[in-house]
Amino acid sequence: MKLVDSGNKAGANPSRADLFLNRELSQLAFNRRVLAQAEDRAIPLLERLRFLCIVSSNLDEFFEIRIASLLAQHRIDGTPPNMQAIERMSAECHDMVERQYAVLNQEILPSLAENGIHLLRHEARNAAQRAWVKNYFEREVRPILTPIGLDPAHPFPQVVNKSLNFIIELSGKDAFGRGTGIAIMKAPRVLPRVIQLPADISDNTTSFCLLSSVIHAHIADLFPDREVVAYSQFRVTRNSDLWLDEEEVKNLRQALQSELHSRHFGAAVRLEVARNCPAHLADFLLDQFSVDKHHLYAVDGPVNMVRLLELIGHVKQVPLHFPAFTPRIPQALAADDIFAHIKRQDVLLHHPFESFQSVVNFVRAAAHDPNVVAIKQTIYRTGMNSDLMESLIIAARRGKEVTVIVELMARFDEEANINWAERLESVGAQVVYGVVGLKTHAKLALVLRREEGSLRYYAHLGTGNYHPTTTKHYTDFGLLTASTPITTEVNEIFIHLTSLTKPKRLQHLWLAPFSLHKEFIKAIRRETAIARQGRPGRIIAKMNALQDESVIRALYAASAAGVKIDLIVRGACALRPGAKNLSENIRVRSIVGRFLEHTRIYYFRNDLAHDVYLSSADWMNRNLFRRIEVAFPIHDKALKKRVIDEGLRPYLKDNVNAWELDPEGRYHKRKSRSNTLAFGAQQHLAQSIGSIASDKVGVMDDGAVRLASPSWSVQQNEVKRF
């Protein structure tokens, strides 16, 4: 396979499948890598359980969005689905779910029991525990259960997306002498799914039971004078992608509020039942929800494993968790006058190793500073509780001009964002919702401060969300700057987003959907031209996903010209690395560890100019053409070196959490060689930047050098230059 062009066309007529890996299968491969974390015995036990729950959550979204999209497209325009790919997805999902529950039942739960933590099924509970559970059922559960016997007056009820439900088969006659044989019952969402039993009946252990187990044990009590023949818990997953007719929408917020309710009742795309659910009951449910049998999952445990996260929160045994981690707050930003320091020099923040509190303090200081006249900010995800949003409200109340661009279509955060928009408007802030049809995904905050008779701009630009929870668990970079060339262009972007006027030509910031894609392609082709002239060409890029075909074709052309390319892609990757005559100079790796890799970094050697851009955008079509995105340069040489030393080099050296992608789309876990010390990028950064407990490097039974539990000690040598 040979490329004949500078990046747009492939020679030898290769098929699309030869050039690009399947997006959905690549996404499932990422979940395999997360599942591998749950299988890793070097990771603390409760963290392994957490990874199992993350896999379940990821699969939920995969069905709600990706599978739902494939099925809906076929129904809407008759586009024939790729049945071979769908069958592979189905097989992969079934195999992954089977492995999940095997790890839960054969490894995690027995190991927890060895540590005095028990998740008790009915048959494992002693007499005192059964009595307590029965009392709990009668007092807390039964009063709010509503079993519905199915008959013409009681049709099959609406079942909410991902809710816990039960199907019950009954014999005999009902109170009216009729043979209503099937009942459906919803488990109320107000009840906890994991219930801790009192210590005095737990024999000096920590014991829990699931709400589903409590209901199972007493389901017969709900149907006196009837025999319960069979029953099963079940859960249905529905299409959760919101759709709005952009040409018809007059008020985006009102339209979205109306649409949010329908999300709970979209087309069903998956049915989960208990392993012992009788086939005829499963078939009955499949028929009711119009779900294909290939999307039936019979599981050996709770149908919603995500709920086990509640158990993790209850257990405080330190050795079963990752060691406590304290992010660093840069000393300069702890001073009273944060603006004076930013004016002297740019500040680079590397989260979560450095605290996001510095960003919160920046906005809070602006809210209270009498010299600040205006604050502008974009909000994509921020959560239900946010000190940062509260500071914006305070700023508006104090009479400052506050402009907030709230993205209402941030998937699964729509309700929280609507609530914040309403609160901000109620105190006089100017709230706009970006551009209809383009999600505002850029992470920008701008402070206008009056100094010596004129306005001075201060800005924060980031790769991650202004979210108090995710900033503790996602890796991201942020830049605090008073640089006039950058801050002036940030202000131009805000004017563009609020006025909808065409933005002025930007010299430093790359803005989607206008210049971002063009500039990325230009930078790749510049390295290609440099390599063709016999000089070293080098590209290193770190992102969440790589899907855009035009970017991939440009990278293939760069590889053919001799450019050395390293791609650190956490999730789905459509590029085939290392393929003969196509991508022999491209390597792709994925890092999966304690923190979610979320940073987007784009490095181009450019004849030793070492261009470094940080961005909110992945190399995906949606980011480059259907979102408002910003890529911003790091100009300060010291900070540029930090981005390279902290954001790229350690990840290229990692032999603990790294997976390497082969040309066929398979990932292989990279292992340290016998004469090489284990090196984990996240562990290295946590110890060298933040504050974390150290543990010794140990040797596993197979002789391989591994990080001893809790798997957070690393060799901290200098990482070699790339």
- Answer yes or no: is 297 a known binding residue: no
CA 710 to mean position of chain CA atoms? 23
Ligand-binding annotation for 178, yes or no, is no
Per-residue pLDDT tens over the stretch 132-191: 999 999 999 999 999 999 987 788 999 999 999 999 999 877 767 676 789 999 999 999
Maximal C-alpha separation, the chain = 90
Q: Is 58 annotated as a binding residue?
A: yes
User: Which pLDDT value is given to residue 154?
Assistant: 80
Is 350 assigned a ligand-binding role in the annotation? no
Residue 94: active-site member: no
Which is it for strands 439-440 and 627-633: parallel, antiparallel or unpaired?
parallel
403 and 440 Cβ atoms separated by less than 8 Å: no
C-alpha dist (Å) from residue 439 to 272, 518, 551: 33, 19, 21
**Predicted pLDDT at 436:** 79
Report yes or no: 441 and 454 within 8 Å, Cβ to Cβ: no
Cis peptide before 152 (omega within 30 of 0): no
At residue 344, the pLDDT reads 93
Helix (H) or strand (E) holding 549: helix 549-561
On the 0-12 / 13-18 / 19+ scale of CB atoms within 10 A, 550 is: middle
Q: Which two tokens stand for residue 627?
A: 């979102």
66 assigned ligand-binding residue: no
* Rounded-to-integer distance, Cα 466 and Cα 566, Å: 29
pLDDT single digits (tens) 268-277: 999 999 999 9
Dihedral over Cα of 358, 359, 360, 366: its sign: positive
DSSP structure class, residue 708:
P
**pLDDT tens digits, one per residue of 436-447:** 789 999 999 999
pLDDT (0 to 100) of residue 334: 72
Which amino acid would we find at residue 596? L
Strand, helix or coil at 597? strand
Domains, the chain: 45-320 (3.30.1840.10), 326-505 (3.30.870.10), 512-665 (3.30.870.10)
Which stretch of DSSP H or E encloses residue 37? Answer: helix 23-39
Average pLDDT of span 588-616: 98
Q: Select which of 118, 441, 460, 496 is catalytic.
A: 441
Please give the Cα distance from 348 to 643 (Å, whole number).
9
| Mean pLDDT over each residue of the chain, to the nearest integer | 89
Whether pLDDT at 714 is above 50: no
Query: In the prediction, which pLDDT does 191 show?
Result: 94
Distance (Å, whole) CA 338 – CA 361? 8
